[in-house]
Amino acid sequence: MPTGVVFRDAREQLFEAAERVLLRDGPSALTSRAVTTEAGCAKGVLHRHFTDFDGFLAELVQDRIAGIDSRSAALRDAAGTDTVTENLTRALTGLFRPVAVAIVGLVTSRDELRARLRRTTPAGVPLLTEATAMIASYLTAERELGRLAPDTAVDTLAPTLIGAAHMVFADRKGTPPQADAVRGVVTAVVTGAVSEPL
């Protein structure tokens, strides 16, 4: 393996290599050797930037979770525009890209990784927990605007939407669902709460 390869942003290149392995071969194939081979670097590059492989995986997951913050702000800002169903359909479709679905599988398959992530996400499944908070924040904003019924149980509706959408997207080998399939799930979940045309 070449050791003289220059990496401008080694961490991000290693993260991207890990995602390619994860998408192509699944969580069980994700090893430090597989990642460094995919990245085209020596194994020592990974260990120079991370304490160990589970530390690398934890930082990968946390980095991808951090991306939910910007999505959350954009979704909250969409409250009061378009329809609740369309906003949720777009948000869930953007959230459950193949990498995110694969990362959920990775988290649930590795005990040590989950234990490390418990330091920042003490309950639920990391990534899904933060996604649920994003949806809950949006639903709260829509309830305050009167587009959801005042008695809407946001803390129940948000995880229901995340769980139902995750099931639609969870086939790692299949093609992603069409927007109509996601919209159908959203409509079924929010029908009783929405105070406007779906």
C-alpha distances out from residue 114 to 98, 117, 125, 182, 186, Å? 20, 5, 8, 28, 29
Q: Same fold for the domain at 1-49 and the one at 54-190?
A: no
CATH 3.40.50.720 fits 54-190, yes or no: no
CATH 1.10.10.60 fits 1-49, yes or no: yes
- Provide the token pair at 59: 């930082």
Which segments in the chain show pLDDT lower than 70? Answer: 1-8, 171-174, 196-198
| Phi, psi for residue 151 in degrees, rounded to 5 | -95, 15
SS3 53: helix
Domain ranges of the chain: 1-49, 54-190
Task: Look up residue 54 and give its amino acid.
Answer: D
**pLDDT at residue number 170:** 87
pTM of the model: 0.87
Task: Look up residue 99 and give its amino acid.
Answer: V
